[in-house]
Amino acid sequence: MISRSTLIWLSRQEGLKDFATSFKIFKKLTTRFVAGETIDEAVKFIREINAEGASATFDHLNESVGSASEAEAEVLEYLNILSKIDDAGINSNVSIKLTQFGLGLDSELAYKNARKVVEEAHRRDNFVRVDMEDSSVTQITIDIFKRLRAEFGLNDVGIVLQSYLRRTYSDAEQLVKLPARIRICKGAYNEPPEVAFPDKKDVDANYVRVVQLLLSSGIYHGVATHDPKMIEATIDFAKREGIGKDKFEFQMLYGIRRDLQRQLARDGYNIRIYVPYGKHWYPYFMRRLAERPANVWFVMKNLFKG
């Protein structure tokens, strides 16, 4: 069986990225985790989930861009998304990655680009979530987020923390003091044991600790997971502490545990679905395979079905 770390390693191979994205047959397989190549396909899906009581967060797939002009194109895409959300009257905010805005080229460029999107979201009364990438950019992502948060409101911009990182509990303690809206997730990259817990049970225990800290802060946070144990621990804690269902939201990814997404909506919980679209699906898609290597069999089966 192919391992999680091999799949994450493959997700970073530029040559494979170009190879995979140039073949129609691979594109077909991505529909399991990606809403489509165009913004309109994503809008169509968001309308469907809105009708079922879920909100969305839009993600234009592209990360680690190689030039300032590519980063600029990403800003324009996000300005377009924000306008589309209003025109279509759908319930969605947006998620961005700083490497998409040029973080790997120049951190000031990434800040300025992100700022343009947050400013537009603020103008439109919408919200920007800064996704968290691998640990080489954790600190700079938090620093840029803090600058944005100092200029804009609590409901304009938020950040993501990953429970597999040893530093996360302390980051969460600092960030809630700003205050800041946080999405907690487990973390999707390959990290060395010095920075991340190698054992799943420690990642999960840290997840629950951070959720309890977040929920106790009285700020509206996102609990991003498909893990029934994490969901149950969140619900139990909220009930125990008298924290209302409207005080936080669960978040899940497009294509994963749609049954659970619907169940939580029916049970009266706020649920937001992360809806990725675009041509640059390769690294995102490979990270989804890595989360559940059994998915590789699903992909292979469909590939040979033609």
Catalytic sites, residue numbers: 131, 183
- The residue among 83 and 170 lying less far from ligand FAD, judged by its C-beta, is 170
The least distance separating ligand FAD from the CB of residue 37, rounded to whole angstroms, comes to 20
Contact with ligand FAD (CB under 6 A): which of 114, 252, 265, 271?
A: 252
- The residue among 162 and 217 lying less far from ligand FAD, judged by its C-beta, is 162
Q: List CB contacts of 229: < 8 A, sequence separation 6 or more.
A: 204
103, 196, 105: which is closest to 144 by C-alpha? 103
Q: How is residue 250 written in tokens?
A: 């669960």
Task: Give the Å distances, CA to CA, from 119 to 82, 198, 243.
Answer: 11, 38, 31
Contact with ligand FAD (CB under 6 A): which of 68, 154, 227, 258?
A: 227
Is residue 224 within the footprint of ligand FAD (CB under 6 A)? yes
Is residue 283 within the footprint of ligand FAD (CB under 6 A)? no
Strands (E), the chain: 55-60, 92-96, 128-130, 157-162, 181-185, 221-224, 248-253, 270-277
Strands 55-60 and 270-277: parallel
- The residue among 100 and 113 lying less far from ligand FAD, judged by its C-beta, is 100
Is residue 213 within the footprint of ligand FAD (CB under 6 A)? no
Is residue 251 within the footprint of ligand FAD (CB under 6 A)? yes
Is residue 299 within the footprint of ligand FAD (CB under 6 A)? no
φ/ψ bin of 223: left (φ > 0), alpha (ψ from -120 to 50), beta (otherwise): beta
Is residue 291 within the footprint of ligand FAD (CB under 6 A)? yes
Contact with ligand FAD (CB under 6 A): which of 56, 71, 117, 160?
A: 160
Binding mask 183-212 for ligand FAD (x = CB under 6 A): --xxxxx-----------------------
**Separation of alpha carbons 61 and 276, rounded Å:** 6
**Separation of alpha carbons 162 and 199, rounded Å:** 14
Eight-class DSSP state of 92: E
- The SS3 call for residue 209 is helix
Amino acid at residue number 13: Q
Is residue 253 within the footprint of ligand FAD (CB under 6 A)? yes
Residue bearing tokens 């799949």: 7
Q: List CB contacts of 38: < 8 A, sequence separation 6 or more.
A: 277
- The residue among 238 and 271 lying less far from ligand FAD, judged by its C-beta, is 271
- The residue among 121 and 182 lying less far from ligand FAD, judged by its C-beta, is 182
Binding mask 120-149 for ligand FAD (x = CB under 6 A): -----------xx-----------------
Where in 229-248 is the site for ligand FAD (CB under 6 A)? 230
Contact residues toward ligand FAD (CB under 6 A) are 131-132, 160, 162, 185-189, 224-227, 230, 251-253, 256-257, 274, 288, 291-292, 295
